[in-house]
Amino acid sequence: MSTLIKNGRIITAADDYVADIFIEGEAVTAIGKHLQVNPDKVIDASGMLVFPGGIDPHVHLDMPFMGTFSSDDHETGTRAALFGGTTMVIDYAIQPHGKSLHWALETWKEKAAGKAFGDYSFHICITEFNESIKAELEEIIKTEGITSFKTFMAYKGALMIDDRQMIGIMNEVKKHGGIVAVHATSGDMIDYLTEKHKAEGKLSPLYHYLSQPEITETEASGRFIDLAYLSGVNSYIVHMTCEGALNKVREATSRNQRVLAETCPQYLLLDASLYEMDFEGAKWVMSPPIREEKDRETLWAGIKQGLVQTVGTDHCPFMWHEKLRGEHDFTKIPNGAPGIEHRLELLFSEGVLKNRISLNKFVEITATNVAKIFGLFPEKGTIAVGSDADIVIFDPSKKHTISAKTHHHRCDYSAYEGWEVTGKAKTVLLRGKIAIDDDKVQIGKGYGKFFKRKTI
Ligand code: DUC
Ligand code: ZN
Ligand code: ZN
């Protein structure tokens, strides 16, 4: 099967030009003006932008968490992602206490196999580090192709590790060329504030926010950066929300340290005043919480300055009845919100069209940098001869309103209900196949493939 995409404005992290793209099988085989080829199918992309398929570096599909599971699994989650132009996701496989890293990987592979519409890989969350986990790391990185490991500095008693374990993980991951990612908030500070608020009878969603103030993230980010400096490991801070944390990254550059950072659309666009709406604020109960105007300004600046390299969604949806478990106690509200479908359109509409970022930067943070950092480039993350034909044909002037009535998430509310955005994925190709066309899915479940990754 061959396809010719004609006359699109091709945007990569480096380029911006009008040309034709010829695809044979799963890969791009030629790019040029007025290509003379005999395709099986022609797509006219005149007036459209043509981006590399988005790669979401941070999603939680079918994740066991806080006594329930995130409501999108690998089938519905990757399908919703495709509708929004995200052709690949990197999900989190979690190692429960007492289980091995191999167990986590095999369990998550089983969850996704035969179900995923889009391509996928996994980070592994290490929740316990000991000699036997240490002994697994080399094989996981070199043979299994899992090069990134997430650690938690919060959720004490469940996911959190201590600094000694963090040092052990960092040293071992460094030895084998991987990268250590972190949920950087201080578990002890948060637990102290949470207990205090509960003792005072302050139990509404607002106190979720007030139990995780900026300092809890600033402190943990700084500590993680210092530990990474000691070990010299490649380091990545996930879902960064605030000025204090970004300034820790900025400070580290003055001692020639490089720390990579990710933020999410919700931290770039939403405001903490949402938590003041009685229990409805539970829709945005996530960790870390949404913050303030000064933080949003800092994060947009951080993207421009190259201090923030990627934007993921931290997609972790829960149905409203699950959120209601915390109606009388914010600590029982499952943490997380939906968003996997809207990353590209929100960043285009609010970022590119409002002159906060350039088109090239848009591609860099949604695809290219993700592929580079997590060992998928140049197979993924760009439009080039030899790369997988993961391509988004994007209508830059299509207006639409985000709503739970029309989104494809398996979630009965939207974190962006009523948001009017301009720009929408029209046609999405995944490894040469048309996956989405004019709001209809064209591939079957199970088309999505697991990808091993390289060290960087
Ligand atoms: N934060 C969330 O809000 N949900 C899932 C895990 C996390 O770190
Ligand atoms: Zn996290
Ligand atoms: Zn997360």
Domain ranges of the chain: 52-373
pLDDT at 64: 95
Task: Decide: helix, strand or coil at residue 420.
Answer: strand
Share of the chain above pLDDT 90, in %: 100
User: CA-based diameter of the chain, in Å?
Assistant: 73
For residue 400, pLDDT over 90 is answered with: yes
**Angstrom distance (rounded) from CA 341 to CA 315:** 9
Nearest residue by C-alpha to atom 8 in ligand 1: 287
Candidate from 66, 155, 335 with most ligand 1 atoms within 8 A of CB, to mutate: 335
Cβ neighbours of residue 266 under 8 Å, at least 6 residues apart? 284, 286, 290, 314, 337, 339, 415
Reading the block at residue 451, the tokens are 């990808």
Give the position, in ligand 1's atom list, of the atom nearest the Cα of 335.
3
**Do the beta carbons of residue 15 and residue 8 sit within 8 Å?**
no
> Residues 200-257: pLDDT tens digits?
999 999 999 999 999 999 999 999 999 999 999 999 999 999 999 999 999 999 999 9
**Angstrom distance (rounded) from CA 164 to CA 227:** 10
Q: Which class is 52-373 in CATH?
A: alpha beta
Q: What is the dihedral of CA 322, 319, 119, 110, to 10 degrees?
A: 40
For residue 401, pLDDT over 90 is answered with: yes
CA–centroid distance, 368 to ligand 2, in Å, is 22
> 36: how many CB neighbours lie within 10 A of its CB?
8
CA–centroid distance, 387 to ligand 1, in Å, is 32
Is 190 exposed, middle or buried, given 0-12, 13-18 or 19+ CB atoms closer than 10 A?
buried
Nearest residue by C-alpha to atom 7 in ligand 1: 287
> Residues 84-101: pLDDT tens digits?
999 999 999 999 999 999
CA–centroid distance, 88 to ligand 3, in Å, is 16
Share of the chain above pLDDT 70, in %: 100
Give the position, in ligand 1's atom list, of the atom nearest the Cα of 63.
5
- Asked if residue 334 has a cis previous peptide bond (ω within 30° of 0), the answer is no
CA–centroid distance, 162 to ligand 1, in Å, is 18
* Predicted confidence band of residue 141 (pLDDT cuts 50, 70, 90): very high
For 252-262, letters b (16+ CB in 10 Å) and e give beeeeeebbbb
Question: Can you tell me the mean pLDDT for 281-289?
Answer: 98
> Residues 144-158: pLDDT tens digits?
999 999 999 999 999
> Residues 100-133: pLDDT tens digits?
999 999 999 999 999 999 999 999 999 999 999 9
Among candidates 439, 449, 429, which has minimal Cα distance to 3?
A: 429
**Angstrom distance (rounded) from CA 72 to CA 70:** 6
CA–centroid distance, 158 to ligand 3, in Å, is 14
Nearest residue by C-alpha to atom 4 in ligand 1: 336
Query: Rounded to 5 degrees, what angle do the CA atoms 406, 408, 412 make?
Result: 75
pLDDT at 456: 86
Cβ neighbours of residue 456 under 8 Å, at least 6 residues apart? 147, 177, 179, 234, 372, 373, 374, 375
Give the position, in ligand 1's atom list, of the atom nearest the Cα of 60.
5
For residue 33, pLDDT over 90 is answered with: yes
Question: Can you tell me the mean pLDDT for 252-264?
Answer: 98
For residue 370, pLDDT over 90 is answered with: yes
**Angstrom distance (rounded) from CA 248 to CA 220:** 10
Q: Is the dihedral of CA 100, 264, 323, 204 positive or negative?
A: positive
> 396: how many CB neighbours lie within 10 A of its CB?
17
Is 34 exposed, middle or buried, given 0-12, 13-18 or 19+ CB atoms closer than 10 A?
exposed
Whether the model clears a pTM of 0.75, i.e. scores above it, the answer is: yes
**Do the beta carbons of residue 221 and residue 244 sit within 8 Å?**
yes
**Angstrom distance (rounded) from CA 434 to CA 414:** 27
As for ligand 1, residues whose beta carbon falls within 6 Å of it are 60, 65, 183, 286-287, 316, 335-336
CA–centroid distance, 45 to ligand 3, in Å, is 35
160 DSSP assignment: B
Going from the C-alpha of 203 to that of each of 68, 216, 290, the distances in angstroms are: 21, 19, 18
For residue 344, pLDDT over 90 is answered with: yes
